[in-house]
Amino acid sequence: MKNKRRKGYAGYLYILPWVIGFFTLQLVPLINSFAYSFTSFSILGSPEFIGLENYRKIFTTDPDFLQSLAVTFRYVVMAVPVKLLFALLVALILNQEIKGIGLFRTLYYLPSILGGSVAISVLWKFLFMKDGIVNRFLSLLHLVPLDWLGNPRLSIWTIGLVTVWQFGSSMILFLAGLKQIPKVLYEAARIDGAGSMRIFWKITLPELTPILLFNLVMQTINAFQDFTPAFIITQGGPMKSTYLYGLMLYNQGFKYFKMGYASALSWVLFIIILFFTGLSLKSSSSWVHYGDTL
Amino acid sequence: MNKKHVVVSKAISYFLLIFLALVMLYPLLWMAGGALKSNNEIFGSINLLPKNPVFSAFQEGWGGSGQVSFGRFLANTFALVIPTVLFTVVSSVLVGYGFARFDFPFKRMIFTIMLSTMMLPATVVIIPRYIFFSRLGWLDTYLPFIVPAALGCYPFFTYLMVQFFRGLPMELDESAKMDGCNSAVILVRILLPLCKSAIFSVIIFQFVWTWNDFFNVLIYISSVIKYPVALGLRLSIDIVSSNVHWNSLLALSLVSIIPPVVLFFSAQKYFIEGIATTGMKN
């Protein structure tokens, strides 16, 4: 196969648009934001070198930084695993011989299409406000209504539910993975008399780990940067309880136009994301199963 | 497992699936119903259907900011989304073809770099990009959306095309080459017609993502006359909090999700295929 491919430099011509885009819109900006992070820079003036001052401020005097970081961690650590757990469970149920699987797949996937839009954030506000329909349901069930958006201990979970609600796309991936597990593995296990729990832990889950890794990495990267729901639904409040990192970055960069400081913040986030991505990928050799099927 | 056991577990499965579907879709149905409710009825009731349907919410909301109508916001969104989608298709097809069908020095390394940019957090390049675009005079235009699309800055789609091209037999190229076709002719005449479903996946994903995008339009677009629906809707939140026509906010939200929802239901096959071939995103 391989040797039939065309050789020489013609291929460069086709990938040229990407090469230009990579240098001008990805690599150079990446380097620039690192360089800007050592400057004081408002969009009107020119950058002025101030050494590590931005980083010193972030880690010692900025009261928002630690708050925002804590909120973001809470959000990521809750939303991503719950979302993936839902996605996996529903995929497992759908993987049985279910009639109308196409319909269910479509319905569950629909929220992923709308997810980050302003319209859904508006809707969330209606659902979870004090006299919203979620509390209506709670009182119908004789449960105590909650202040979903006004209570600083609760608000970030309410925002996290927007993310969990969009489990459909990860579910589709799990479902595609489940379909690829060779039937013979299951047959062999049944002949050996393995029960269904044992089959799940010994066959299904190991075979799905590559997809689990992929979902985990991509969802974590995205969740660290989430913006719209917190911006629209709670504006980061109450008492900065939903002040996600993305909001802080937006405020510093595009509200106060402190481009140098915002660049430093973006690099701190970048390092955090790199750390988690690296951790997932590095640890994967011990928990991800690379069989010959995937 | 005996037969009875199987029937019971099936029944539980269906119950769970239906219950979950209802819980998940209830908010969307409630939004659709709420757009037809009177302002008072929105807060009082969990009913999906309005007691007395009214259409005033749409009329009130349609006025938009007073000067710029919501219809204009919708038209703006199409003006932003359509070229972005078209250029995404062109760049991902060209670059995907280059990676899938040619061998050139450092290809492996370059391809790895391309893939790893999928994991590059957008936030870390957003500030230099913004400064770059502002120096080019592109702020408050749709160019910050269209140009990155033309330059293949959405590696997900390039990867999707690479995967698809790899699935097409090389013999197609070989025989066309024998007939004297050059690589561009092979791409356009032979391969493109076979790529329809992959191209369709690119179109609908990029359409929906760009349609829903809020962060980028928030930073790049500043004049109301150029607002897409995402910003128009946010503007309506402010207007509604002063005139308290809450139902009109629901009506506008509903209108703003209709294009992606219609696209999704008419082309869901391609969404699912697209997401399953490359394995990605949100």
User: Residues A262, A228, B144, CA angle at the centre, nearest 5°?
Assistant: 65
Q: Quick check: is A32 in a domain?
A: no
| Domain total in chain A | 1
The boundaries of the domain holding residue A168 are 47-287
Q: Domain residue spans in chain B? A: 76-253
How far is the C-alpha of A220 from the C-alpha of A110, rounded, in Å?
21
Q: Is residue A179 part of a domain?
A: yes
| Contacts B253 to A, Cβ<8 Å | 118-120, 122-123
Q: What is the pTM of this model?
A: 0.90
Give the domain CATH number at A249.
1.10.3720.10
* A119 interfacial to chain B (CB closer than 8 Å): yes
Q: Which fold has domain B76-253?
A: MetI-like fold (1.10.3720)
From the list B107, B249, B271, the residue facing A122 with the nearest CB is B249
Contacts of B163 in chain A (CB under 8 A): none
Instruction: Give the distance between the most distant pair of CA atoms in chain A.
Output: 74
Give residue A55's pLDDT. Answer: 96
Residue A262 belongs to a domain: yes
Chain B hits for A108, CB-CB cut-off 8 Å, are 20-21, 24
Q: Which chain A residues touch B119 with a CB distance below 8 Å?
A: 217-218, 221, 277
For A153, list phi and psi in degrees, rounded to 5. Answer: -85, -15
pLDDT tens digits, residue range B225-280?
A: 999 999 999 998 888 777 667 888 888 999 999 999 999 888 877 777 766 666 54
**Residue A233 CB neighbours (<10 A):** 25
Backbone angles phi, psi at B112, to 5 degrees: -60, -40
Strand blocks (E) in B147-208: none
* Nearest CA distance, A142 vs chain B (angstrom): 15
From chain B, pick out residues whose CB is under 8 angstroms from the CB of A124: 27
Instruction: Using DSSP, state whether A39 is helix, strand or coil.
Output: strand
pLDDT in the model for residue B280: 46
The amino acid at residue B205 is F
| Band of residue B281 on the pLDDT scale cut at 50, 70, 90 | very low
Residue A235 within any structural domain of the chain = yes
The tens digit of pLDDT for each residue in A220-243 reads: 999 999 999 999 999 998 999 999
Residue A275 included in any domain: yes
A-to-B residue pairs, Cβ atoms closer than 8 angstroms: 273
Does residue A147 come out as left (phi exceeding 0), alpha (psi in the -120 to 50 range) or beta? beta
Q: Across the interface, do B97 and A14 touch by the CB < 8 Å criterion?
A: yes
The answer to whether position A25 is within a domain reads no
Listed in sequence order, the residues at least 6 apart from B44 whose beta carbon sits closer than 8 Å to its beta carbon are none
In B51-90, the residues whose Cβ lies within 8 Å of chain A are: none
- B238 to chain A, any CB pair closer than 8 A? The answer is no
ipTM of the complex: 0.90
Flag if B233 and A119 touch (Cβ within 8 Å): yes
